Structure 1
């Protein structure tokens, strides 16, 4: 621990030594965000928020949402085991790691203000993005869907009412990487409307891992994402934005690699980047939706916003999770989902008072098969949720503001299950909860902003489609305090937060097929406590030089295991148990990152941009038995770009995972029966050519 603390201290000390040169550089911009459902400068938001703008996304080679790990503290973002097109997203140890509908995500994902209920297939391609906001801690008094861990907001660039745009990129790289990206847009109706269309095609035709079974398939990936937006301003006080998007993926996921000997085999060549599987693996995913957002400025103080959306997703996932040729542990998931959401927001800002009141409704249906339909148990779940929420603040004296918020959620879930060889069963449950937030913030000076808050979060319970275990409602209480500072005429920025959280009934899914007959996976409800620190720093010490760093410390402890947990989770020694004092899943103790970019003027027409980023993560556990650590990595990315001074064209050569480091991010272990792991992507080299017309 001391070694890691010294390393992180040195990281920020290195940024501090550039202070004498800060007077030579232009200041850092205060990025405009909508974390509190109204436009504010990031340095005046009394929340723990990380923001990546379009320049950071491009410079740091962030191609999809997984790249947030390179910049955001106390976040774990990896694909679920065997489902590379989906997302397992945790913030401060809270999230969802199972690609199914049994529980709702602990971290809410919003794309252009629309809530995405399922994180299956949610590996969002990041192109034509204005910014990404990551909010840490319970959200509910400002947002449509309540969440216990935080929220991630992806914001695309909207149609421009004044300027035409046409831009395209071609990316080629190792392992048969081929990406085609483009965006076009134009004003319409004399500047009263505009349209913008974006599309990304991604293909990887060579395998990252090798299936040693002669009849087996090799991993591949192809995906097509598109977004079309139409904006209209029929009156000065009314704005309408219509959007339509699709996400089409056809991939062959890599199988798990055998990590040790079992009764059914071993890793035959000792290389974890090889595996054996005769299964015809596939991951087919189709997602899309339409949305309408209407903003109406009722007066100088009041505004009304309506967000209406319908979305669908269909996923078929077939994979081998044991790493050996014998069929010991295989996965089959056939999921169909639809959702309708409606949100209304009434905002008020005038003088020393600001307030937001909202209404949110979601109707979601899920249909799930855990085996081919002719032999499977079919599960059908319908969820309906209604919420009212409000939050307001008052500046009681110059610079000192107090705020408070409250939310009421009423939710119901209905489950029907049955199929060949399975009895028809049904269940229904309702959940009602009031949550709140209270806080104070103080603008000490133009350079220093302080805040403190207390908040509660809630996530409804549910049913287990895989076997035993009731999912109880989850609640969390979080206390946090932080600071946001700017020095040397905004050339050095340092933000920090400390938080403490206590959790009741945190849902945990464990593999129990060999200890509980008929229950492949069982849900348990544990109590836990968390505390941590998040620090983010940015500096512009010299013209053209940008430095960014982050540090996260996260301490987690299971305080009360579910009393229904069996004595052991394995039929053979070593017996696996869940005990008080264990760490919670997906909670590395330390994380830190550093990113630097330097722009050098080669001539009046051409600039060169060198960018380097480094990130470290300690190990984490995939479940509360703490029997096998995952993660633990130090990754380096690098790129060199040539760009015209007018930014019309750009050529970039980049590499991710420069040192080709290998780490395990998930796996399964059942003594004597299964011992398998999933690995990160190897070093990948890419060359990107882009042109704006």
Structure 2
């Protein structure tokens, strides 16, 4: 791969033998030394692969220059979410490491960090696509601007941008003079950040920039063993070289690296779900009947009677190795697991379902079931009017998983860490072939290596542990763009080609109450594309822009993981018990006692592979776009557009309870969107008022969402949807140093059809329905900020207040209320004092001013029974001293 990268770079250099480059675009600052201008400044963006004024670019864009980001106290890319309509960009590690962003734009995205699935919003650093979300919460060190492009960007940016794209542009070296900056930030939670950059011209045509940062902060959730979760401990560095090789050619070469050594994410146990479809789907109190006393006549096992559910203990306290059968909604009768703790049933008979089925569909309850019947702990309590499965949380019952662990302190004892190492290098060559034609080459190589471990039940027990989840990935990409103009600049065009390849290994090791196993393996993905886009000025005011991109993806997966590691309770594959299929007995037919199967022994023996074999897939797609823009008046741009996009498919590597036979590795197909959009951009009152708006309708097909098949979170294509919405962004500069900014986003996202067999699957009590809300996406996102700049001698003093609001958010596709985040607002405040003569800036900031408690994300798998939430940070203060030179 490294050789391929070098070959691509050398080939581009050879092609660029004698030419000159257009310089790297720089956004005009909205302020100098912290002082807002009395007019709203222009911002230059490159959303269409060339420099354009934001207000003259007929697509929905939010752009943030470096000064704006510093004024908002933004240190990481997710900080822009509160200021961008219809953008969700949060740390949503779910089952894995920290620094794994879930990015959603206009309701479309992906929260799964697995390299076997693709994001729905593209993340770009200096034009280079970052394929994997692990480590994707990039620190904003020595950057020029961040652009958020809303809507599919399938023509110029390609696959996996069906929701939009987040493009980060670094500050490039300049040849003028030595310059730099240094900033020190301290705050509570032992925050201590240091950032520095140095621009060094070596000659009139050669300059370098060195920048780096160390970022440190304690976590906001404390474990009982003293470890803090959600902490920050990162090192970031970047080297950039710019060489103006001739009057027509410029080369920009960069190397960046990030090192993360953090504890696990700031999750806390917020509840336990004890329901079991096997004998207690309605969460009723339990009645334990000793000695195997039969149920009353006509009462089947697991049915409510007198407001409770009966579980009959076996004679002499023996553990019942009964056939575990759920109601008929399971995928097939061959999927019913069997508990076989003793190896053989007393008297040669398997206990019938109505005499004590083990709740293998809820591992929290299964733990308590085993502790009760085998360990003598009273984890399954008789009804006492309110008690259910000993929820009182008595610490004396150490083997019981109950409310004793639902506290503000995380009670986990397992490993909790996140280690990430990333480095990348890119070579950009800008070449002026003639006065009207430019050639641009972007060659890049990136390497990711991460490992994480997380105690998912937040207790000393092992209900669920997401352990040893390494990702080792590298990618190489080459893009060539040919840009030009004709007919006196009435026609602007761009044609290009793109190549991408990544390889890697991802192994997921998970431990549950009954089993420990490892899944995953080697992956290889390649993508090639060709694209073109034209903008033709039909008149001085009317322009038409058509575009088209062809993409072909190939994916390969080799299941090489270790399979079953341990079978602690004795889970048996019923295919070894009943090769011809499970008889209609037990819960399926309570009147028939389930017979002993012809064979004994487990199909989940240590060393057995959960997945076997290899799988590959290939698909291609055309993504067109057409845009019509009209300059209705000076400062007023109207536009409408139609665009399409697609997100790549992938493979399901998380599979349980049954092994996947060779050649049977499940996969999912690409998803597609068709978007109709209209909008306007307005500058009025001498550029003191800016108002941009967009209205859109999205036809969303073949949706990929995360659903649970037993304990396994899997991506499946589930149907179609439509998303309607609007976005408004406004900025007002009335004079006197006052600045008012705000934004509003609204989404009406609804499923229009669902594949019930895939969504429900019979494996969950809850399911996605046509009335379900999209996960991770609020209906309303609103923000506003107010600042006032005033002069006091040589110092410009700027107080600022930022407010953001998000309506209710569900964190999973089945809309689990217990982990949802109700509507909430956050307020940040800052005060900046900037010296206009010597480059010193002092700022003080308070985030979450009113100490609002909120969740950043949540995880619930009903097979685990664990409800957990990622806790948002409480009120924090910091002060920053910065020196420009």
* Shared fold per TM-score greater than 0.5: yes
Q: What is the CA–CA distance in structure 1 between the aligned matches of 2:704 and 2:715, rounded to whole Å?
A: 10
The 5 Å alignment of 1:313-462 reads 313-332=448-467, 333-350=469-486, 351-371=489-509, 376-420=518-562, 421-422=608-609, 424-462=612-650
Change (3 A) 1:419 1:586: closer
Q: Aligned-pair distance for 1:268?
A: 3.8
Q: Aligned-pair distance for 1:540?
A: 0.8
After superposition, what is the alpha-carbon deviation per residue over 1:269-313, rounded to whole angstroms, capped at 9, x for unaligned? 865x42210111100000011110000111221111000000010
Contact 1:86 1:121 in 2 (8 A): yes
RMSD: 2.1
Pick one of 870, 875, 881 that aligns with 1:683: 875
After superposition, what is the alpha-carbon deviation per residue over 1:421-477, rounded to whole angstroms, capped at 9, x for unaligned? 215310011011111001200011112100000001012211111127521111100
Q: What is the CA–CA distance in structure 2 between the aligned matches of 1:631 and 1:107, rounded to whole Å?
A: 25
Q: Aligned-pair distance for 1:597?
A: 1.9
SS in 2 for 1:259: strand
Q: What is the CA–CA distance in structure 2 between the aligned matches of 1:520 and 1:152, rounded to whole Å?
A: 27
Q: What is the CA–CA distance in structure 2 between the aligned matches of 1:217 and 1:537, rounded to whole Å?
A: 40
Which residue is equivalent to 1:307? 442
Which residue is equivalent to 2:66? 54
Q: What is the CA–CA distance in structure 1 between the aligned matches of 2:422 and 2:494, rounded to whole Å?
A: 31
SS in 2 for 1:160: coil
Which residue is equivalent to 1:84? 98
Change (3 A) 1:132 1:254: closer
Q: What is the CA–CA distance in structure 2 between the aligned matches of 1:59 and 1:90, rounded to whole Å?
A: 24
Pick one of 527, 532, 538 that aligns with 2:731: 538
Q: What is the CA–CA distance in structure 2 between the aligned matches of 1:476 and 1:653, rounded to whole Å?
A: 44
Pick one of 468, 481, 499 that aligns with 2:696: 499
Pick one of 584, 596, 614 that aligns with 2:786: 596
Which residue is equivalent to 1:550? 743
Q: What is the CA–CA distance in structure 2 between the aligned matches of 1:391 and 1:143, rounded to whole Å?
A: 12
SS in 2 for 1:376: strand
Change (3 A) 1:670 1:433: closer
Contact 1:259 1:266 in 2 (8 A): no
Work out whether 1:41 is the aligned partner of 2:53.
Answer: yes
Q: What is the CA–CA distance in structure 2 between the aligned matches of 1:637 and 1:447, rounded to whole Å?
A: 32
Change (3 A) 1:207 1:27: closer
SS in 1 for 2:613: strand
Which residue is equivalent to 2:841? 650
Q: What is the CA–CA distance in structure 2 between the aligned matches of 1:451 and 1:216, rounded to whole Å?
A: 54
Q: What is the CA–CA distance in structure 1 between the aligned matches of 2:78 and 2:822, rounded to whole Å?
A: 14
Pick one of 127, 144, 153 that aligns with 1:113: 127
Unpaired stretches in structure 2, ≥5 consecutive residues: 1-35, 274-364, 366-399, 563-607, 656-664
Pick one of 398, 413, 419 that aligns with 1:284: 419
Change (3 A) 1:459 1:239: same
The 5 Å alignment of 1:532-681 reads 532-565=725-758, 567=760, 575-603=765-793, 605-628=794-817, 629-630=820-821, 632-646=823-837, 648-671=839-862, 673-681=865-873
Q: Aligned-pair distance for 1:524?
A: 3.6
Q: What is the CA–CA distance in structure 2 between the aligned matches of 1:209 and 1:403, rounded to whole Å?
A: 51
Q: Aligned-pair distance for 1:561?
A: 1.8
Contact 1:144 1:358 in 2 (8 A): no
After superposition, what is the alpha-carbon deviation per residue over 1:533-576, rounded to whole angstroms, capped at 9, x for unaligned? 000000111232222100000110112223432646766xxx21
Contact 2:221 2:228 in 1 (8 A): no
Contact 1:530 1:557 in 2 (8 A): yes
Q: What is the CA–CA distance in structure 2 between the aligned matches of 1:291 and 1:630, rounded to whole Å?
A: 40
Contact 1:466 1:522 in 2 (8 A): no
The 5 Å alignment of 1:56-205 reads 56-80=68-92, 81=94, 83-143=97-157, 145-189=159-203, 191-204=204-217
Pick one of 199, 204, 207 that aligns with 2:219: 207
Q: Aligned-pair distance for 1:144?
A: 5.0
The 5 Å alignment of 1:226-305 reads 226-254=237-265, 256-262=267-273, 263=365, 265-268=401-404, 271=407, 273-305=408-440
Q: Aligned-pair distance for 1:321?
A: 2.4
| Higher radius of gyration, 1 or 2 | 2
Which residue is equivalent to 1:476? 673
Change (3 A) 1:569 1:258: farther
Contact 1:494 1:537 in 2 (8 A): yes
After superposition, what is the alpha-carbon deviation per residue over 1:101-144, rounded to whole angstroms, capped at 9, x for unaligned? 12111111111111101111111111222111100011121225
Change (3 A) 1:266 1:177: farther
SS in 2 for 1:486: strand
Count of aligned pairs between the two proteins: 658
Q: What is the CA–CA distance in structure 2 between the aligned matches of 1:479 and 1:218, rounded to whole Å?
A: 43
Contact 1:96 1:105 in 2 (8 A): yes
After superposition, what is the alpha-carbon deviation per residue over 1:392-430, rounded to whole angstroms, capped at 9, x for unaligned? 111111200111001100110010003332153100110
Q: What is the CA–CA distance in structure 2 between the aligned matches of 1:144 and 1:504, rounded to whole Å?
A: 18
Q: What is the CA–CA distance in structure 2 between the aligned matches of 1:221 and 1:588, rounded to whole Å?
A: 27
SS in 2 for 1:69: helix
After superposition, what is the alpha-carbon deviation per residue over 1:239-287, rounded to whole angstroms, capped at 9, x for unaligned? 100000001000002453222244453454865x422101111000000
Contact 2:428 2:442 in 1 (8 A): yes
Q: What is the CA–CA distance in structure 1 between the aligned matches of 2:37 and 2:229, rounded to whole Å?
A: 51
Q: What is the CA–CA distance in structure 2 between the aligned matches of 1:579 and 1:677, rounded to whole Å?
A: 23
Contact 2:495 2:531 in 1 (8 A): yes
Change (3 A) 1:174 1:32: same
Change (3 A) 1:207 1:458: closer
Q: What is the CA–CA distance in structure 2 between the aligned matches of 1:325 and 1:552, rounded to whole Å?
A: 43
After superposition, what is the alpha-carbon deviation per residue over 1:622-673, rounded to whole angstroms, capped at 9, x for unaligned? 2321232335220011111211013611111111111111112322334582
